[in-house]
Amino acid sequence: MQGAKAQMKLLEDAITERGRVKDGDVLKVDAFLNHQMDVSLISELGKEFHRLFRDAGVNKILTIEASGIGIACITAQQFGVPVVFAKKTQSRNIDGAVYTSKVTSFTHQREYDVIVSQSFLGPDDRVLLIDDFLAKGSALLGLIELVKQSGASIAGAGICIEKGFDVGGKLVRDSGVRVESLAIIQEMHDGKIIFTD
Ligand code: 5GP
């Protein structure tokens, strides 16, 4: 893929052909992205994230368990950097030195604490955030909060699928973080998915 535009036809086609719209606003992509994983396709996504952020000084990738981990690992191979994943915990009584923030799960409608050990993120790190979806922005804002607590800097966020009709993209971009989404859904209705150009 050439040029600065992030949107990938390959991913849009996979969503159209292998995705399913459920309950109006939930897109199931478990046939290729977050349950069964199409590693060749995800490999192309990783290459695209690398093309977009290769000059951004990234030395660490941060994602959130569970769906982001595979995508982050494949992306990290392109950058040659480690992956840290934020762990979800419902316990408020967390041991050890950790950064912590709160995330409301879009799919489960529940609030989690997410934690990262202070051993694995600090002021020398320049972090690329990776996740499968951006909807209301809670997951990404939770990761951004962890990075802020650590004193690391944020190179940007690489998102596979952004729901362009939801508030998250605007919230995160307005906070000053560069967001690159490989497919942006403008609308979903009657099982049809329309992408932004
Ligand atoms: P947000 O926190 O931005 O509202 O949602 C992002 C998180 O919720 C992602 O980590 C993703 O796992 C999940 N998510 C949001 N929307 C969808 C969706 O339509 N389908 C699936 N499978 N997951 C979603």
Output the DSSP codes for 62-77.
Answer: EEETTTHHHHHHHHHH
Cα 107 to ligand 1 centre (Å): 6
Q: What is the structure's pLDDT at 91?
A: 63
Mean pLDDT over all residues of the chain? 93
Task: Tell me the pLDDT band of 1, cut-offs 50, 70 and 90.
Answer: very low
Give 5's pLDDT tier (boundaries 50, 70, 90).
low
Give the pLDDT score at 191.
Answer: 82
The residue count of the chain comes to 197
Q: What is the mean pLDDT of residues 18-36?
A: 93
In whole angstroms, what is the distance from residue 161 CA to residue 15 CA? Answer: 9
pTM of the entire predicted model? 0.95
| CA–CA distance, 72 with 53 (Å, rounded to integer) | 13
pLDDT at residue 118 greater than cutoff 60: yes
- What is the predicted pLDDT for the residue at 2? 42
Q: Return the best residue to mutate from 15, 69, 87, 106 for the ligand 1 pocket (most ligand atoms within 8 A of CB).
A: 106
Segment 88-95 shows an average pLDDT of: 67
Pocket of ligand 1 (CB under 6 A): 26-29, 34, 67, 106-107, 131-140, 168
> Does the pLDDT of residue 90 top 90, yes or no?
no
Burial (Cβ within 10 Å: 0-12, 13-18, ≥19) of residue 40: exposed
- Residues 6+ away with beta carbon under 8 Å from 97: 117, 118, 119
Distance 142 CA to ligand 1 centre (A): 13
